[in-house]
Amino acid sequence: MKWSLRDWVYIAVFGALWGVVEVGLGSYLHVIFPSLGNTFFTGLTLAALGIMLALVGRSFVPHRGAVLMIAVITALLKLLSPGGVKLGPMLAIVAEGLLMELGLLWRGGKVRPAYALAGALALAWNAVHPLIMLPVLFGRTLAESWTKIAKDGSAILGLDASQALLILGLLLVIRWAIGAAAGWLAWDIARAARRRAG
């Protein structure tokens, strides 16, 4: 299917909006939650908002690959972050875009449950991301990465760090639920936005 200039404009707009959330709001959240800025609360908030923006953008550009393009633009705008280039968050944004595309394969992304699935898959990446990025970017072993996730999760959930499997499972379920809710809500926002846009 041929993409129009209007499609590319919408992709640029929604990519820029997600980028503003990442760069602007992300900087404030890192100040508000300095000790947990790189773990749960900041990532969860930014990803949920990003999911909603990307999925609303998808409703304006109903083509396969549109969400991934929005995510790529956002990742490039992440280069403008005050803290400098951060490869980990940029790769996470692109991974979230890919996972949303996977969820939107359900009935062509034309049903609300597909949006919810896309959101749940995208936010689930945040649970896996440290296990991949900590060894790749910072040279930590898988065991060290697992230990860090368990310690961070124990501080969030109030559980003993030795219950690593339970901690990871609970954090994953929380992310799935919030991601699905973000996708579900994005469906309503997208319909309202399209009505207003005529």
Q: What is the pLDDT of residues 169-185, one digit of tens each?
A: 898 899 999 999 999 99
Q: Which of 22-26, 49-53, 91-95 has the lowest mean pLDDT?
A: 22-26
| Mean pLDDT of the region 111-134 | 88
42 with 29: CB under 8 angstroms? yes
| Mean pLDDT of the region 136-143 | 69
Q: Please, which residues have CB within 8 angstroms of residue 14's CB and are 6 or more apart in sequence?
A: 53, 54, 56, 57, 60, 70
Of 64, 175, 181, 131, nearest in space to 189 by CA: 181
Asked if pLDDT for residue 143 goes beyond 80, the answer is no
122 with 179: CB under 8 angstroms? yes
pLDDT of residue 89: 83
23 with 90: CB under 8 angstroms? no
pLDDT of residue 62: 92
pTM here is 0.87
CA of residue 171 relative to chain centroid, distance: 15
CB atoms under 10 Å from CB of 85, counted, come to: 10
- Residue bearing the bigger pLDDT, 32 or 94: 94
Residue % of the chain over a pLDDT of 90: 48
pLDDT of residue 126: 84
Element (H, E) at 171: helix 164-197
Residue whose structure tokens are 């959240």: 29
Asked if pLDDT for residue 101 goes beyond 90, the answer is yes
Of 18, 129, 123, 13, nearest in space to 74 by CA: 18
Q: Please, which residues have CB within 8 angstroms of residue 188's CB and are 6 or more apart in sequence?
A: none
Q: What is the pLDDT of residues 148-165, one digit of tens each?
A: 777 878 888 888 877 888
At how many degrees (to 10) do helices 164-197 and 142-157 cross?
Answer: 70
| Structural domains for the chain | 5-197 (1.10.1760)
